[in-house]
Chain A
Amino acid sequence: MFSNKFGRFLFGLYSRKAAAVCGVTRSGFSWTAVCKQRTLWLQRSGCVETPRSTVPCHTSVRSASQTTVDPDEVRRFQSLASKWWDEQGEFAALHAMNDLRVPFIRDNLLNVHTTRHPGKPLAGLRILDVGCGGGLLTEPLGRLGANVLGIDPVEQSVGTAQLHSSYDPDLHDRVCYRACTLEELSAVEEEEDGQFDAVVASEVVEHLADLETFAFCCSTVLKPGGSLFITTINKTNLSYALGIVVAEQLLRIVPSGTHDWEKFISPVELERLLESNGFSVQSVQGMLYNPLSGAWCWTDSTAINYALHAVKLRDDPQPDQAEESGSHPEEHTAATHS
């Protein structure tokens, strides 16, 4: 019973290894690498775009592009697909994390969008949940009134998510799922100027090898002034000790090999990456999991887990009333991408 309670510190939903193909490393970033990546991506998307536009929602990931998804990871999460909604099971810590991340997202969005709808605070907002898994975060956001699209490359997870959301009639119109990757989605979206008010990528970034693509795609699908919410794990000695050694090897809570310490990213680096992609980071806050109580809490230290909120800058540098959040001045970096 307690072993269940000892839950997960760190959780991955899926992983994508795009870097292997083009050899872009994550230890630093350079403009050339970004441009090269973008060119490659555009080339790739060019050849898949035509079939993409005619194929409806449920595209199998594997048929589209083997290179962006690691089959091992997909297989691992396929086997766990039915366990998403067992609140005392493997994903207990993720369920508990909702107590932090839902208010985090909700309140930061309410800061920006000030019209109040009692009972449905996020009504009228479109949110994209990247790496939604079983829909653990998608459903609460849907219940708060937002229109949420959850995407995940693992089809079984998406199936579980759809089944579970069908139980609640409230969610029918507002929550839908698609089994695809972010790149595929942003390829479709590129024609319009970004459709989503917010993108949520919770416990996803530590499974990506290529973050520039991720950041670029997020930027594409977001409306100007839209919000990006990321929760992930820091790259420190402490996170290695607790997240890898303790969780994976000592207590075997997380299967060995789920996390790769090299893929963790520190908030400073993530901030730098996002700002180079046209985001302005508004806040970073550390999270801490207590395995005994099975609950998360906010903390000052970002040494292990942290949550980050960034806002996509508008093209013109004048501050928009919808973007006021007061604490940080807008960083009016010149737009570096068209």
Chain B
Amino acid sequence: MHKITKATLALHDLGRCLIAERHLSAIRIISRGLVCAQHGDDSGKNEVYDVIISGGGMVGSAMACSLGMDPNLEGKKILLLEAGNKKVMDEVPDTYSTRVSSISPGSATLLSGIGAWEQITKMRCKPYKKMQVWDACSDALITFDKENLQDEMAYIVENDIVVAALTKQLDSLSENVQVKYRSKVVKYTWPMPLPSSRIRSMGPGHTGQRRDYSNQAADWCRWTKLNGEAAVWGYPQSSGTMTNQAVVAVLHLSEPTENNVAWQRFLPTGPIAMLPLSDTESSLVWSTSHRLAEELLELDEESFVDAINSAFWSNENQSELIETAGSVFRGTLSAIMPFAGSPRQLPPSVAGIGPKSRVMFPLGMGHASEYIRHRVALIGDAAHRVHPLAGQGVNLGFGDVACLTQLLSQAAFNGKDLGAIQHLLEYETERQRHNLPMMAAIDLMKRLYSTNVAPVVLLRSFGLQATNMIPTLKVNSSSIYIQTYLPVHHSEPDHHTDNINHLSKLSSASTQTPPTALFSDYTELYFSGVYNFQGSEPTTMASKFSPKFSVTKSVWVGCRAGPRAADSGVGLCFHTPFITDHSCEMALFPTK
């Protein structure tokens, strides 16, 4: 439906990208989190940037902060282009905004590494400890939680707050990161002589979809233009071509409760989720067909509240057969494993909704077959777009940010041209390996749960119950965000033993836990490069910290200096001499 237009280029300088800037009123949606690593010539002022980020939403701003704070990229100039206005939030508004995201602990670590997480927690965020997911067509349910409800599972944060916190961080980075608001990329050009140059234009002729929130998910149609080969799925209804929509609202609960559970129920028309915002309010995300969504929006407030409550509470979709089969299966399983499983809880009931907070937005799923081209990388929703049922969309994006920052930092430390294809390819491989299975799983869940045909219902309810009861399956399915990126602290001790002492000192100082306990959560330890330690192998070095460690992979991790690393508690790195002995360089990646 959209073709890539190829046009001849005007060359200003070879190896530079010419960006024409237009200042537009923000109705159209800009690409979110599109990273261009190249030099740009601003035609008006002839400024050159090393990295240009197009799209200043959560992921784009996080990328800008992350690059700006990386010590290996110090001195590089970074530009962030955002079509909307600057989001300043001096004080948090009383009403909750309707667009919220679930931030996983890994994303929280990334955000704390760039200094935005403290802002967010100061403003407003709601940790939740448990998530209950159950079926409308049967009794099957599964709950996810950490042991003993001690740790948070994830956080619900309003998108506006995340962006405001990131904007504040960007303000403090103004020497190397420049942000231009109300500006949007109209055209990218690449110089001619390079073999893979293409022109991508998102020109004025293209009509965008009207969106109520300008910084949110990308307009998926655009990406076909950008990529040429993007796989796009809308979620159409069987009857028509309308894509599924999600209805969001802020709900007022009927009575205050210790609101730390996230609820999600799979209805045949789509999942409905209630995410806690505070003791009295929750956020609603109801994905359903276009027609139903429109109907829901047209209902008056009382009927809408009734619809929500019945969606969560009613059992009309369950048939006798399935109920009996379900209970038999559950009985069998509990005979085998009497202590497994979890009691069913019912979500809180809803009394009202926030004023003017009912809106809908279209859903889709899409994946770019290539995340990178010459001097271009896609991150965030520009590269992958998922259904909100797993709460992973922005977390995948933050994972992209972490990975790409690390690779660019390493490339800069090796003196490479930042736009070189070699490390961009590494980014693409790594992220696709991580994102594709996740997206496939989410899509599978979506399709599995969108019917109420008996055999499928039986199958999925057995599956869900089994997963709930068998711990290993549950752990695997709950490790939604597997790899967390840790900021590391650059220190320079002189000798081997000093390194270890220094490591211990730092770790105990920052977290007030003894080093062994600190590292006991870590199951993998990454070393950078190939080093010979004075008489000892990297494995010996690793085993000093925990017998569970093994050297599995060599990867360079960019260093982040400064007190912030200490805030998140872990992650230590010493400088290394290359071949000989002494200190090692390591980064700690917890895999939980």
Q: Which residues between 562 and 592 of chain B lie within 8 Å of chain A, taking CB atoms?
A: 575-582
Residue contact B580 to A140, C-beta cutoff 8 Å: no
Residue contact B412 to A119, C-beta cutoff 8 Å: yes
Across the interface, which residues of B come within 8 angstroms of A139, CB to CB?
415, 417
The smallest beta-carbon distance between B36 and chain A, in angstroms, is: 16
Across the interface, which residues of A come within 8 angstroms of B421, CB to CB?
87
Across the interface, which residues of B come within 8 angstroms of A110, CB to CB?
575, 577
Q: Does B98 contact A (CB under 8 A)?
A: no
Q: Which of A107, A116, A140, A143 contacts B578 (CB 8 A)?
A: A107
Q: Which residues between 14 and 42 of chain B lie within 8 Å of chain A, taking CB atoms?
A: 14-16, 39
Residue contact A298 to B530, C-beta cutoff 8 Å: yes
Residue contact A111 to B414, C-beta cutoff 8 Å: no
* Complexed CA–CA distance, A155 and B529 (Å): 36
Closest to A163 in B: B14
Residues on B lying within 8 angstroms of A by beta carbon are 13-16, 39, 48, 71-76, 412-417, 421-422, 492, 529-530, 561, 575-582
Residue contact B74 to A119, C-beta cutoff 8 Å: yes
Closest to A141 in B: B415
Q: Which residues between 270 and 287 of chain A lie within 8 Å of chain B, taking CB atoms?
A: 282-283, 285
Q: Does A75 contact B (CB under 8 A)?
A: no
Residue contact A325 to B580, C-beta cutoff 8 Å: yes
The smallest beta-carbon distance between B422 and chain A, in angstroms, is: 8
Across the interface, which residues of A come within 8 angstroms of B39, CB to CB?
168-169
Q: Which of A98-106, A188-196, A206-214 is the contact stretch?
A: A98-106
Known A98-B414, A298-B530; contact A169-B48, beta-carbon cutoff 8 A: yes
* Complexed CA–CA distance, A285 and B578 (Å): 11
When A and B form their complex, what is the total count of cross-chain residue pairs whose Cβ atoms lie within 8 Å? 79
Q: Which of A121, A169, A326 contacts B582 (CB 8 A)?
A: A326
Q: Does A2 contact B (CB under 8 A)?
A: no
Residue contact A119 to B75, C-beta cutoff 8 Å: yes
* Complexed CA–CA distance, A285 and B73 (Å): 29
Q: Does A23 contact B (CB under 8 A)?
A: no
Name 14 A/B residue pairs within 8 A (Cβ), A-sorted: A98-B415, A103-B529, A108-B577, A111-B578, A116-B492, A118-B561, A119-B74, A120-B74, A139-B415, A141-B415, A167-B15, A167-B16, A169-B39, A282-B580
CB-defined interface of A279-306 with B at 8 Å, one 1/0 digit per residue?
A: 0001101000000000001100000000
* Complexed CA–CA distance, A301 and B476 (Å): 42
Across the interface, which residues of B come within 8 angstroms of A80, CB to CB?
none
> Ordered nearest first, which 7 A-B pairs have the shortest CB separation?
A140-B415, A119-B74, A107-B578, A167-B15, A119-B75, A118-B71, A327-B580
The smallest beta-carbon distance between A23 and chain B, in angstroms, is: 38
Q: Does A144 contact B (CB under 8 A)?
A: yes
Residue contact A325 to B415, C-beta cutoff 8 Å: no
The smallest beta-carbon distance between A91 and chain B, in angstroms, is: 14
Other than the known A99-B414, A108-B577, A169-B39, what 8 A-B pairs have Cβ atoms closer than 8 Å?
A103-B414, A118-B71, A119-B75, A139-B417, A141-B415, A167-B13, A326-B580, A326-B582
* Complexed CA–CA distance, A118 and B579 (Å): 21
Across the interface, which residues of B come within 8 angstroms of A107, CB to CB?
576-579
Q: Which residues between 124 and 144 of chain A lie within 8 Å of chain B, taking CB atoms?
A: 139-144
Residue contact B561 to A283, C-beta cutoff 8 Å: no
Across the interface, which residues of B come within 8 angstroms of A326, CB to CB?
580-582
